[in-house]
Structure 1
Amino acid sequence: MKVYIYLILICLNVFCRLNAQTRIAGNEQYNSYELCIYVDNLSQKSIPDIFVSTYYDKLKTSDFKISQVIDSIHKRREVHVRTKKAKDGFLFVNKYIMDHVTNLNCELGKMKVLYIYNNKEVKTKEDVMSVLRLRKKSIQISEITQDEQSGLITVYVIDQ
């Protein structure tokens, strides 16, 4: 019986082209909102490539939580993605970066973040995992520098 129900639903979807959201009033306006995606409190466009290749690309759907905030006044949709392995220190550092960049009014879409952890650039998977495991009570952000010409935001983090 379940098989027949599924077949009927598939046939209705394929042949009748059911699009549940297209005829709802305001759908076009909702889709025109600016979409901002934040992964572990950092803008998706600013995530370092080493983090993408060694950590974020390897995640399964069960490894993260997604929430969405819709701001109808500023016409923005913010999607916040949190991963399970990112601890409070890493989230704090990323939030600090985003606040710093917002205060400087620079164009974040063109900037990449470079983490300097204990006076060493984060280049390996082990470095990435140690940065992800940072705890808020044991870290110190010594400096954030921004170079708009090279497109880098450099964050110096010391684990005490």
Structure 2
Amino acid sequence: MKPRQDKKPVQFPTAGAFLAVSLLLGVSLTGCAQNSGYQESLASVADNAQGTFSLPRGEDAGAPIPLWETVLIVCPYSDTSLIPEPFAKDVQNLDTASTDSLQWLLFSDQNNVSRISVERSAIDFCQGESRPIEYESNRAWNAEKHDGAWVMTPTTD
């Protein structure tokens, strides 16, 4: 029996191709999980603030809902059992006792809600506050740097 000459040997991807795909996948998954876009926007606004300011909104702000109307800030150890609509469903599985290094920002425009986490070592909305609080997008804020983190406090009316 004569071997077939038209068959080509099977070629497997090189180790470099596997590495490139792994890195690309890792970068894309990491970008989704960290929400660094909005965290960077917050830090930039705080860095450039000359007095009070509003939290970033718009297409380049990095928020999951660019033109959000309200934001609910949920701090570590917050009781999420009495959260108002439209946020109630989005906090059901939120484990606020699992870490104190994050806070959660839930953005809403009407009934559309999206949640991100922000590292407290960079931006901290939770100094002295433990209950979830909802703020309008036009709320004025102050920022003060403490131990490398921007501490955000809403202005009083």
TM-score by length of 2: 0.23
Which entry has the higher C-alpha Rg, 1 or 2? 2
TM-score by length of 1: 0.23
Return the structure number with greater strand share.
1
